[in-house]
Amino acid sequence: MAHGIDAAAAGGPPPPDVPDAGVLGAVQRGVNAINDLMAVLSSLAIGLAGVILTWEVVGRYFLAIPSDWQDELSAMLLIGATFASAAWTQARRGHVAIDALGQILPPGANRIRRRLADLCAGVFCAYFALKSGQLLMEAWEEGQTTPSAWGSPLWIPYLCMTVGMGLLAVQQALQFLNGPRRA
Amino acid sequence: MSTLEIGLLYGGATIAALFSGIPIAFALGAVAVVFMMAFMPAASVDTIAQNVYEELASITLLTIPLFILKGAAIGKSRAGKDLYDALHTWLHRIPGGLGVAVVIACGLFAAMAGSSPATCSAIGSSGIPEMRRRGYSPGFAAGLVAAGGTLGILLPPSIVLILYAVRAEQSLGRLFLAGIGPGLLLVLLFAGYAVVHWRTEHRRAVAAGVDNEILRQEHFTLKEKFAALPRVLPFLVLLTGVMFALYSGIATPSETAGLGAVLALLLIALVYGAWTLADLKPIFAGTLGESGMLLMIIGMSLLYSYVMSYLHISQGAAAWIVSLHLSKWLLLTAILLMVVVLGFFLPPVSIILMTAPIILPPLRDAGFDLVWFGIVMVVVMEMGLIHPPVGLNIFVLNRIAPDIGLGAIIWGTLPFVVLIGVAVVILSVVPGIAMWLPDLVYGK
């Protein structure tokens, strides 16, 4: 069972239930390329957020520069990184689940359970992506901004959420269609 | 439908979704969305992404990826081994000093890295082979590291405490300080047990009259002792410096997280020469996997709690608990037992996010200090990391020392589960162990 606040880091090669042959394998290779790009961008975003917050301390404490945008930009970068890298994490089964029934059920029933779980998670993520997309369109058309003094455009985080959850739904669909690996 | 019926349905659907094997984040999100569709105005589902974004855009919550980055940077370096080696050279004269060094190294590493598995992995990979070489029983060696690793969720910058601070609307600064006293208490209990256990094994070896590694005396020269310090001191300076920045008012919690991450990356570059892409890749991969998984659970848990609150489930459940008129300590015992049971299946992050709206109002009404309760709750959740059948640290150790065997590791952790229980009782009888430091710094 995957369990714990800081449960297994999701790094490392994808497990064998990611499709690697045929049409699904070809699609997965395309998705992997996008996932890897998103992982690089997300890593840069996290690193940049760290640098911005460090600069905030140095700027305010040593140079008396007021801090008005750093927290908000950092929040956007970190939320963007979370959603953008969600499919990369899913490809490695890094989103933790309770697998207690897997110890009890016979292998055939367990495979069906895992497939249904992938289907439900995929449907939810696709729906979330759809709703994020609708908010993205609204935020873009109405020029919505955050209520802070800096007033950053809201379409940026909604874009990250739409793309991230959409990619996550595709990744889950690929894992559903491929079926779980045999125990 | 009545609130009670909706609440029971919500609870049942949550259990079914979680045990179906759907990842925790998506299970909670899916249950919330289904209940929004069924019981809330039609337009409410249109704003689910907005709800999640607004809840996640808390700058306190967003310290989490940066503290994880700091922990990953230190955890993937050799800092853990160097720390343990240095403590070993300084503490070898104490009876059972090797075990004591392991416990203190776990505490210090946990405070630097803020991660239980990272602590187990970093200290266990060098500490367990050394303890076994010196005649300690494998199960005890593994149990000691597993227990020491649990300090990662109690000592600052504990991610679990960050979440609790947000959910319970308590000061993060007070919570971090309140974790230090109980952390030291646990270090004392674990180290005391290590000494007692060593004495027992030592006595047996003497009685057996055969040659045993546990009987061998070790000696380190003063030169060797001081030679072990240079690699460790920078990290101890980082540990204290970052906390000084936070409590002296130089940096906010989010800035402290950013500063800590940047300084940790700089330190491993300077001390270990870890600055190439090949060095940084596993650090960022580990950070992405862990923080992405966690923030997704947090975002969806907040959506889940929002629905629970909108439908008056949490308020109804809290009012029901209050109406039972349990005595103060019976209420606390019942809630902590529930946390223990939940710890069998759920990670601490989910336990806090899902139960806080229900259990905190009755506890507040009963007169408990919620900072103190947060610390006690986290100590109880530490048990979940090492108690069978699903403790995360047990599996981490099984991976780094597979020849010990899962059974021996589990038996090795059991005395420490009892010691954590003892710590909970002590904290309940003497709450000042947790509260004296925050009261000293912030006032009552």
Q: Any idea of the CA torsion for A147, A153, A154, A157, to the nearest 10 degrees?
A: -130
Record the tokens describing residue B306, joined without a space.
């929002």
Confidence tier at A1 by pLDDT (50, 70, 90): very low
Q: Do A128 and B49 touch (CB under 8 A)?
A: yes
pLDDT digits (tens, 9 = 90+) for B222-242: 888 888 888 788 888 888 888
Q: Do A120 and B26 touch (CB under 8 A)?
A: yes
Taking contacts as CB-CB distances below 8 angstroms, the residues of chain B near A5 are: 116, 153, 159-160, 294, 347-349
Mutation target to probe the B interface, by most B beta carbons within 10 A, among A17, A44, A98, A142 is A98
Residue of B nearest to A98 (CA): B21
CA–CA gap between residue B134 and residue B122 (Å, rounded): 19
Please check whether residue B162 is in contact with residue B61, taking contact to mean a CB–CB distance below 8 angstroms. Answer: yes
> What is the predicted pLDDT for the residue at B29?
96
pLDDT digits (tens, 9 = 90+) for A13-28: 556 577 888 888 999 9
**B 174-233 near A (Cβ less than 8 A):** none
CA–CA gap between residue A93 and residue A106 (Å, rounded): 22
Record the tokens describing residue A171, joined without a space.
């990744």
pLDDT surpasses 60 at A4: no
> What is the predicted pLDDT for the residue at A15?
60
Region B170-181 average pLDDT: 93
Residue of A nearest to B51 (CA): A132
Please check whether residue A5 is in contact with residue B153, taking contact to mean a CB–CB distance below 8 angstroms. Answer: yes
Q: Which is more confidently placed, A3 or B123?
A: B123
Q: How many Cβ atoms are within 10 Å of A131's Cβ, its own excluded? A: 22
Alpha helices in A86-154 (DSSP H): 86-91, 107-142
CA B434 from centre of chain: 16
Q: Under 8 Å CB-to-CB from B84, ≥6 apart: which residues?
A: B101, B102, B105, B123, B126, B127
B292 touches chain A (CB under 8 A): yes
Distances (CA, A) of B395 to B92, B108, B398, B401: 29, 22, 5, 10
CA distance B125 to chain A (A): 16
> What is the predicted pLDDT for the residue at A13?
54
The torsion angles phi and psi of B164, rounded to 5 degrees, stand at: -65, -40
Q: How many Cβ atoms are within 10 Å of B256's Cβ, its own excluded? A: 28
Taking contacts as CB-CB distances below 8 angstroms, the residues of chain B near A114 are: 21
> What is the predicted pLDDT for the residue at B390?
64
CA distance B260 to chain A (A): 8
User: Which amino acid belongs to residue B158?
Assistant: S
Taking contacts as CB-CB distances below 8 angstroms, the residues of chain B near A42 are: 288, 292
CA distance B220 to chain A (A): 36
Residue of A nearest to B60 (CA): A75
Q: How many Cβ atoms are within 10 Å of B245's Cβ, its own excluded? A: 19
Residue of B nearest to A117 (CA): B22
Please check whether residue B146 is in contact with residue B393, taking contact to mean a CB–CB distance below 8 angstroms. Answer: yes
> What is the predicted pLDDT for the residue at A6?
35
pTM, 2 dp:
0.87
Residue (of B348, B241, B239) closest to B301 by Cα position: B348
Residue of B nearest to A89 (CA): B289
Please check whether residue A177 is in contact with residue A115, taking contact to mean a CB–CB distance below 8 angstroms. Answer: no
pLDDT digits (tens, 9 = 90+) for A83-138: 999 999 999 998 988 877 887 889 899 999 999 999 999 999 999 999 999 999 99
Please check whether residue A89 is in contact with residue B292, taking contact to mean a CB–CB distance below 8 angstroms. Answer: yes
CA–CA gap between residue B322 and residue B309 (Å, rounded): 17
The torsion angles phi and psi of A67, rounded to 5 degrees, stand at: -105, 115
CA dihedral sign of residues B424, B430, B431, B432: negative
> What is the predicted pLDDT for the residue at B347?
80
In which region does residue B220 sit, left (phi positive, over 0), alpha (psi from -120 to 50) or beta (all else)?
beta
pLDDT surpasses 60 at B88: yes
pLDDT digits (tens, 9 = 90+) for A149-172: 788 899 999 999 999 999 999 999
Mutation target to probe the B interface, by most B beta carbons within 10 A, among A5, A42, A67, A159 is A5
pLDDT digits (tens, 9 = 90+) for A18-64: 788 888 899 999 999 999 999 999 999 999 999 999 999 888 888 88
**B 414-433 near A (Cβ less than 8 A):** none
Task: Classify B361 as helix, strand or coil.
Answer: helix
Residue (of B290, B351, B297, B314) closest to B52 by Cα position: B297
Record the tokens describing residue B69, joined without a space.
């980055």
> What is the predicted pLDDT for the residue at A10?
41
Alpha helices in B209-343 (DSSP H): 222-227, 233-247, 253-272, 277-310, 313-323, 328-342
CA distance A23 to chain B (A): 26
Beta-bridge partner residues of A153: A145
> What is the predicted pLDDT for the residue at A9?
40
CA B231 from centre of chain: 26
Which own/partner contact pairs does B262-268 have at CB distance under 8 Å and 24+ positions apart? Answer: B262/A50, B262/A51, B262/A54, B263/B70, B263/B238, B264/B69, B264/B70, B264/B73, B264/B74, B264/B112, B264/B238, B265/A50, B265/B69, B265/B73, B267/B73, B267/B74, B267/B234, B267/B235, B267/B238, B268/B73, B268/B74, B268/B76, B268/B77, B268/B79
> What is the predicted pLDDT for the residue at B425?
96
Q: Do A10 and B293 touch (CB under 8 A)?
A: yes
In which region does residue A40 sit, left (phi positive, over 0), alpha (psi from -120 to 50) or beta (all else)?
alpha
Between A75, A86, A120, which is nearest B62 by CB?
A75
CA dihedral sign of residues B345, B349, B352, B354: negative
Region A56-84 average pLDDT: 88
User: Which amino acid belongs to residue B236?
Assistant: L
Q: Which is more confidently placed, B245 or A79?
A: A79
Please check whether residue B280 is in contact with residue B264, taking contact to mean a CB–CB distance below 8 angstroms. Answer: no
Record the tokens describing residue B420, joined without a space.
């954590």
Region A63-75 average pLDDT: 84
Residue (of B401, B406, B130, B112) closest to B261 by Cα position: B112
Q: Largest Cα–Cα distance of chain A, in whole Å?
A: 66
pLDDT digits (tens, 9 = 90+) for B307-366: 999 999 988 888 888 888 889 999 999 999 988 888 877 888 888 988 998 999 999 999
Q: Do B117 and A46 touch (CB under 8 A)?
A: no
B121 touches chain A (CB under 8 A): no
> What is the predicted pLDDT for the residue at A11?
45
Q: Under 8 Å CB-to-CB from B273, ≥6 apart: which residues?
A: none
CA distance A16 to chain B (A): 18
ipTM metric: 0.90
B49 touches chain A (CB under 8 A): yes
Q: Among all chains, which residue has been given the structure tokens 């503490």?
A: B91
pLDDT surpasses 50 at A8: no
pLDDT surpasses 50 at B52: yes
Q: Do B57 and A81 touch (CB under 8 A)?
A: no
Taking contacts as CB-CB distances below 8 angstroms, the residues of chain A near B54 are: none
